[in-house]
Amino acid sequence: MTAPRKLGIVLSGASGSLLALQALRLAHSIADWESHLIITEGGQRTAELELNSQQRAEITALADHIHQDRDLAATIASGSNALDAMAILPCSIRSLSAIAYGQTDRLSIRAADVMLKERKPLVLAVRESPLHAGHLNAMSQVTQMGGIIAPPVPAFYLGNLSIEDMTRQMAARILQLLGLDVKDQRQAWEPPG
């Protein structure tokens, strides 16, 4: 029997906690992946503001493994036991900048750094608007290091979706970028006609 592949999900302090919940729901339905969740201090506070208690409980219930952001001794902090793919969703500018400039004083950033040095998929769903040159420079830096910047942009071509459906579509797109088979969970563009 093959060991499941390891997916890291980080919920950082940017607005959009529902994205992490949707990604965990989707990943939970894929048999050959196990999820490793990190909730940053800012992510915890934002989730308290954006999600109800049932949704917050579901986030932790869906995770196969939960790591504390201050635990730099966690297995996923080492390239010898790295994740197979990782997403920070939503990704705050603080997390983006820390990754771009190697400030690995938290597990979420150290694990992202490991993904880059081991040349494994890392997607940052940067959630900020408008952007200034410093934000863009950090995005460019992460891209040059091999990361993927994928802001959670709604698929307006799908018509009038609920927030729930819209965030599920965005989460599925991010998981697809990481190599998870979610084609049955997302709607692809189809020209009218």
24-36 pLDDT, tens digit per residue, is 999 998 889 999 9
Q: What angle do CA 88, 92, 97 make, to 5 degrees?
A: 95
Residue 16: HSE in the Cβ half-sphere, 13 Å Cα cutoff: 27
114-135 pLDDT, tens digit per residue, is 999 999 999 999 999 999 999 9
134-156 pLDDT, tens digit per residue, is 999 999 999 999 999 999 998 88
- Per-residue pLDDT, 58: 98
Domains and CATH numbers, the chain: 5-181 (3.40.50.1950)
CA distances from 77 to 36, 94, 165 (A): 12, 19, 33
- Per-residue pLDDT, 83: 96
Confidence of residue 73 (pLDDT cuts 50, 70, 90): very high
Do 95 and 102 touch, CB atoms closer than 8 A?
no
Q: Rounded CA gap, 181 and 30, in Å? A: 8
Find the mean pLDDT for residues 45-52.
Answer: 97
